[in-house]
Amino acid sequence: MRSYSFTHAIARRPAASIIRGLRAVDTGTPDLALMQAHHDSYVAALRGTGAEVTVLDALEAYPDSVFVEDTALCLPEGAILMRPGAPSRLGEAAEMEPHLAGLYSRMRRISGEDSFIEGGDILTTETEILVGRSARTNAAGIAELARLVADWGHVVREVHTPPGVLHFKTDCSLMDAETVLATDRLAASGCFAGYRVIPVAAGEEAAANAIRFNGIVLFPAGFPRTRDRLADAGYTVHEIGNSECAKIDGGMSCLSLRFTPS
Residues designated as active site: 167, 254
CA dist 54 and 49 (Å) reads: 14
Say how far apart CA 123 and CA 120 lie, in whole Å.
Answer: 8
Q: Nearest CA to 11 among 52, 61, 49? A: 52
Neighbours of 191 (CB within 10 A): 21
Torsion of CA 162, 5, 257, 186, to 10 degrees: 0
Rounded CA separation 72/119 (Å): 6
d(CA 79, CA 76): 8
Q: What are phi and psi of 110, to 5 degrees?
A: -75, 120
Which amino acid is residue 232, in one-letter code?
Answer: D
Distance CA 124, CA 80 (A): 13
Instruction: Evaluate whether 183 touches 171 at the Cβ level (below 8 Å).
Output: yes
